[in-house]
A and B are shown apart, each in its own frame.
Chain A
Amino acid sequence: MGTQISKAVVDGILTGGVYALMAAGLTLIFGVMEIINIAQGILVVLGAYMSYTLLTYLHIDPFIGLIFTMPLMFGVGVFIEWGFIRRLKPQNRTALSILVTFAIAIVIEGLLTQFFSSDLRTLDAWYVEKSLHVFGFYLPYIYLLGFALAVTLLGALYVFLYRTRAGQSIRASVQNRTGAELIGINISRVSAMTFGIGAAVTAAGGMVFGATNSFNPNSGYDLISRLLVIIVLGGLGSIGGALVAAVVALVIEDVTAVVWSPVWASTMFFAVLIVVLLIRPNGLFGRPEARVQ
């Protein structure tokens, strides 16, 4: 049992890292733009399909394929922001953004169903089946590589946010949108960039997701529900919070599967959110929403 639990914890950390990457994008979008991108889940699925297409028809290795899919997804993100989000009037942006992005998600789901049908797919690369034998259990390579990828990208994100001017403008906008505008930051460009980044990370997350799960266009719902839980759990707008929340929630889920039953594992994932919110209504690292005056 002990090794099983350890394995569950390790699994949780490894998958948590990947979810953390996708959630980071989502929470960053909220932090900068105060909107909740419900389409994030289906974008992950889209990323999976992109990698799948490159692999199946062009025989490009999924990791290599990221060189194409990530910029492509960045473009998709920018397009969505420019085409739909930017037009939203300031009143009740958040509520409207939920409906708008939900609609976009439905459209993307429909498009994917048209092109790929509802058949389940998965990414088959050489390393997907193989595992590393360590400490008495088997760790699939893909988990390790996926985790490494997530960590690398999160590191790159950190460097971008804290060491570049563009990143600085994003951080300024998170802290104080109006203030940022007043000192000359182009909010439209920052928003587009942020949305693009938020989408680009789903390309990577989608690839790993596609390699570790079988997916079809309907997989978006489960994904977005988890990502939403993670960002709320971590505190809306907090990337660090998203990281911690992702790992914690996934570890708990995986351990539950071992200790109690796999049937209840997913439910526990959501239950963690409820429990935390009872104690900290704003999530682990969230800030209370600003009062007017």
Chain B
Amino acid sequence: MAQPVSLAAPADRLMTPTMRVAKLVLLGGSVVAAIIFPFIFTNPAVTSIAVFTLLFVGAASAWNMFSGYTGYMALGNAVFYGCGAYFFANLASHLDVKGGVGLFAYVPLAGLFAGLVAIPVGWLALRTRRHTFVVITIAIFFIFQLLAYNLTGLTNGSSGMQLPIPPWNAATYNTYFYMAALVVAVVAIGLSWAVKRSGFGLELLAIRDDEDRAAGLGVRTKRVKLATFVLTGFVTGMCGAIYAYYLGSIYPPFAFEAIFDVTIALMAFLGGLGSVSGPVVGALIIEPVQQYFTLRFTGGGLSLILFGVLFLAVIRFLPDGIVPSLGAAFRRRLGAAKAAVDEPVSELDTLGSSTSEPTPEVNGGVPR
């Protein structure tokens, strides 16, 4: 009695084998391009922006893995960034390690530390529901910032900490950091993708749509949320460690920066919350822009004004983010026959959507 139903994804069903190959080629091509990038564009100004961009790709993906998938907006991830940074700095100084490639090996340790910090932080913050949750993460962020200033034994307070300077020459300096940041970014994207495809990811997305019902169906919501939160901490911590290493020194207001939290949220938003490639796209667009603003409009408030306006424009005009919007347009062109079913009926849910495939992403359905 059951009609034969294709179990392929809606978009895949419509894709010819040629297109599927094209998608893989595109993915492979991006990876290759990313790897050879610093060797082609050797201008240190460019590669410097690239390093920061990759760090944000990682941090935004990590943020999205929790906040995008579960819908709990965390605005305190800078806590992990800063903890990773300071742990790394402390490790380097206590172990008396010289600058060099070897020091990168400690980055995952910094990530682990940040992940550990995420356990009590997450436990505390996740006791509350969404509204209060956001505020708690903000409050915790400020506590950590204050701790950075006050726990001078660990952080040297406002005097900051120095990191070992690696012995590379000016031409290749950025390249090492670029590669390290690329590795972390790939890890972040990989984790994000793996989580989304897994049953674990299904639980997160169910929590986003209807947490109580998910719990009622047997999902261990507390555990799942905390586990993801810790993963986010881990990745973000690694980004923070590389950041500290790259800058060569680190101070409380830079390690724990309020704007960081908002920036990664904006990036995920722009690219598309809940999609794997969204934060990547968002970071690739916004970070170079932000760097440009900072360099061009130093001192004045112009960079802030522009950033804020950009932010508002994104929320206003692209509430679903780039990737889901593109995905929907793509599917519309391909699926004339299925258009009636696929096309969103009315106002779209602004937190984006998900399917089990990494790309292209599908737009949200009718809100309830």
Contact = CB atoms under 8 A, between A and B. Distances in A.
Interface of A: 30, 34, 36, 84, 87, 89-92, 94-96, 98-100, 102-107, 109-114, 217, 221-222, 225, 228-229, 231-232, 236, 263-264, 266-267, 270-271, 273-274, 277-278, 281-283, 286, 289, 291-292
Nearest to B304: A110
Contacts of B351: 91-92, 95
A113 B135 CA distance: 26
B146 A228 contact: no
B329 to A, nearest CB: 20
B147 A103 contact: no
Contacts of B212: 291-292
B262 interface: yes
A153 to B, nearest CB: 24
Contact of A282 (B132, B138, B262, B350): B132
A84 B315 CA distance: 10
Contact of A95 (B134, B136, B304): B134
A94 B131 contact: yes
Contact of B127 (A102, A232, A281, A286): A281
B101 to A, nearest CB: 37
B146 A270 contact: yes
Interface of B: 71, 73, 75, 124, 127-132, 134-136, 138-140, 142-143, 146-147, 150, 210, 212, 258-259, 262, 265-266, 269, 300-309, 311-312, 315-316, 319, 347, 349-351, 367
A229 B146 CA distance: 15
Nearest to B313: A103
Contacts of A231: 135
Contacts of A263: 150
Contact of B305 (A84, A91, A114, A283): A114
B130 A106 contact: no
Contacts of A114: 300-302, 305
A109 B350 contact: no
Given A106-B304, A113-B304, A99 B262 contact: yes
A94 B130 contact: yes
Contact of A225 (B134, B138, B302, B305): B138
Given A270-B142, A291-B212, A221 B301 contact: no
B124 A107 contact: no
Interface-central residue, B134, B135, B258, B349, by most chain A CB under 10 Å = B135
A114 to B, nearest CB: 4
Contacts of B302: 110, 114
Given A98-B75, A267-B147, 12 more contacts: A89-B347, A89-B350, A99-B315, A110-B301, A110-B305, A110-B308, A228-B135, A229-B139, A232-B139, A263-B150, A270-B146, A274-B124
Contact of A98 (B73, B306, B316): B73
A114 B311 CA distance: 19
B320 to A, nearest CB: 11
A292 B146 CA distance: 38
Given A236-B131, A277-B128, A107 B139 contact: no
Contacts of A96: 315, 350
Contacts of A107: 304-305, 308-309, 312
B42 to A, nearest CB: 34
Given A92-B351, A114-B300, A270-B139, A277 B130 contact: no
16 contacts: A99-B269, A100-B315, A104-B312, A105-B308, A106-B259, A106-B304, A106-B308, A107-B305, A107-B309, A113-B301, A113-B304, A225-B138, A228-B138, A228-B139, A270-B142, A282-B128
